[in-house]
Amino acid sequence: MSGDIIIVLVLAVIQGLTEFLPVSSSGHLVIAEALLRTKDPAGAGSIMFEIAVHVGTLGAVIAVYRKKVAALVRTAAGWIFPPLRKNETFRDDSLYVVWIILGSIPAGIVGLLFKARIEGMFDSPGIVSGLLIVTGVMLLLSKGRGGDSPLTWRIVILIGIAQAVAIFPGCSRSGWTIAVALLAGIGFERGAEFSFMLSIPAILGALLLELAGGAAVFTGSSLILLAVGTVTAFVSGLLALKLLIYILRKGSFYRFAWYLVPAGAVLLGYFVIIA
């Protein structure tokens, strides 16, 4: 049990630190599990463990953007309860909620149609390593891009498609969505905020899909380990999210490619030639 807790702590810290930094948390988890020669550290299904630590990082998003999340929840509730529509930002917030719903559709379709194939990639660290390189190239393309363009339905769909691509381990969700936002002329902070708001239904949807599939098998020890992983991912994710916001303001987002491309190349060579 103690050894399992250490492994869970290591993987959860990796998840929390890499969830918001544009380096692919799922890709790092796959590679870390391969290098540590461990699978399903919590004993509840490897995908379930990843979802559990994603829930921890989801808590970090809600903590940092709590005012925005609260405003959007009130707005959604206002669609059902008219008295809540008196807020002066109700119309703008309603449009934002619509954008989140629209942007979530591509990932939902990909997740439903290709669930088995995507899960199979979690057993292919070589493919994941290659996708880290692709993500690095995507970040390089976003260098010097951005602007003051508002969100439109076309841009929202493009960001939604980027999020769908990022379902594949090795493709960073924050990296792809924010990079696409920058390429579309959206500013750093606006693009980051929408990216993280878009992550909320994505993570919740993945959790519900996994639970509905009945693939998870819980025991007392697995629940404890999942809880440890969730809390650890929350704390490390909170630190990483605040760091990313700082980095975005400095305009250094693309520099993560300097890590992704060489790291992906070395790991690809290792898993293809040596492992």
46-72 tens-digit pLDDT: 566 777 787 888 899 999 999 999 999
Q: Mapped to the 3 state alphabet, what secondary structure does the chain carry?
A: CHHHHHHHHHHHHHHHHHHHCCCCHHHHHHHHHHHCCCCCCCCCCHHHHHHHHHHHHHHHHHHHCHHHHHHHHHHHHHCCCHHHHHCCCHHHHHHHHHHHHHHHHHHHHHHHHCHHHHHHHCCCHHHHHHHHHHHHHHHHHCCCCCCCCCCCHHHHHHHHHHHHHCCCCCCCHHHHHHHHHHHCCCCHHHHHHHHHHHHHHHHHHHHHHHHHHCCCCCCHHHHHHHHHHHHHHHHHHHHHHHHHHHHHHHCCHHHHHHHHHHHHHHHHHHHHHHC
pLDDT in tens, 165-207: 998 889 999 999 999 999 999 988 889 899 999 988 887 877 7
pLDDT number for residue 214: 55
pLDDT in tens, 154-170: 999 999 999 999 988 89
- Other residues' Cβ atoms within 10 Å of the Cβ of residue 3: 9
Q: Alpha-carbon distance 48 to 240, whole Å?
A: 22
Q: Alpha-carbon distance 95 to 245, whole Å?
A: 24
pLDDT number for residue 80: 86
Q: Please check the confidence at residue 139 and state whether its pLDDT lies above 50.
A: yes
pLDDT number for residue 249: 85
pLDDT number for residue 44: 44
Query: How distant, in Å, are the alpha carbons of 53, 74, 109 from that of 36?
Result: 18, 44, 33
